[in-house]
Amino acid sequence: MATNITHRNVGDTTTKIQDKEDTSKTKKPKSSRWKQFVVLIAFWTALVLGATWYFRQFNASKSAPEGGFDLTTLNIPFKRSGGAHAKDHFILSKEDLKHYDGSDPNLPILLVVKGHIFDVSSGRNYYGPGSGYNFFCGRDGTRSFSTGCFDQNDEKCTKDSHVYQDLDEAAQKAIDDWETFYRESTKYHYIGEVRD
């Protein structure tokens, strides 16, 4: 409530008279203030959650360490070792690797570049059976990343597909670029190495 002070002259004395104004017309009811409070809290909550989602979505590759996802979530029954805990990278042989070419929908699709294994299951349309890049799955197809030889029935494409050291510098750079692509991808994940 606001208070107005007026002065009245009564005879020789001045008297202060306080008039109290009724401000109930300008005061907001408590329910209106409560609604504003709820809206304000909802706005800030949405802002914080949105910012959190944005930074997780677009900065995941910068902040996540190599293999920054839980390796125990992968179904890798054919292996030498690995997967005991979230950061326990897998070791597979060439024979183990053959199971992960996409032909079994219950197993992940694995691709190898320079002996490093990547899970490319999230790109099943590109790497699954009958797709253009399926040649690379279930084997170490490093050499083909630079030679372009993708015929599964051609022995020169499949016999020594993991051997690349004899290639020229430009071809080896092309292979390095492909490995970098898979390592830095947020869609595909490094999960281990091929060792015999």
CA distances from 52 to 14, 40, 43, 48, 184 (A): 66, 18, 14, 6, 21
Among 1.20.1300.10, 3.10.120.10, 3.40.50.300, 3.30.565.10, name the CATH number for the domain at 71-194.
Answer: 3.10.120.10
With a threshold of 0.85, does the pTM exceed it?
Answer: no
Say what the pLDDT of residue 88 is.
80
11 contact partners, CB below 8 Å, separation of at least 6: none
- What pLDDT is attached to residue 9? 56
Q: How far is CA 175 from CA 25, 113, 146, 160, in A?
A: 77, 8, 6, 15
Sign of torsion, CA 133 118 142 138?
Answer: negative
Q: What is the pLDDT along the chain (196 residues), one digit of tens a residue?
A: 455 555 555 555 555 555 555 555 556 566 777 788 777 787 777 777 776 666 555 544 433 344 456 777 788 877 777 777 777 888 888 899 899 999 999 999 999 998 899 999 999 999 999 888 888 888 888 877 777 766 666 666 556 666 667 778 888 888 889 889 999 988 999 999 888 7
Name the residue ranges covered by the structural domains of the chain. 3-63, 71-194
Decide if 64 contacts 166 (C-beta within 8 A): no
Identify any residues that bridge with 189 across adjacent strands, giving them in sequence order: 119
For the chain, strand residue ranges (E) read 3-10, 13-20, 90-92, 110-113, 116-119, 189-194
Q: How far apart, in whole angstroms, are the C-alpha atoms of residue 86 and residue 74? A: 10
CA pair distance 32, 62, nearest whole angstrom: 45
Contact 105, 91 (CB under 8 A): no
| DSSP conformation letters of 132-146 | TTGGGBTSB-TTHHH
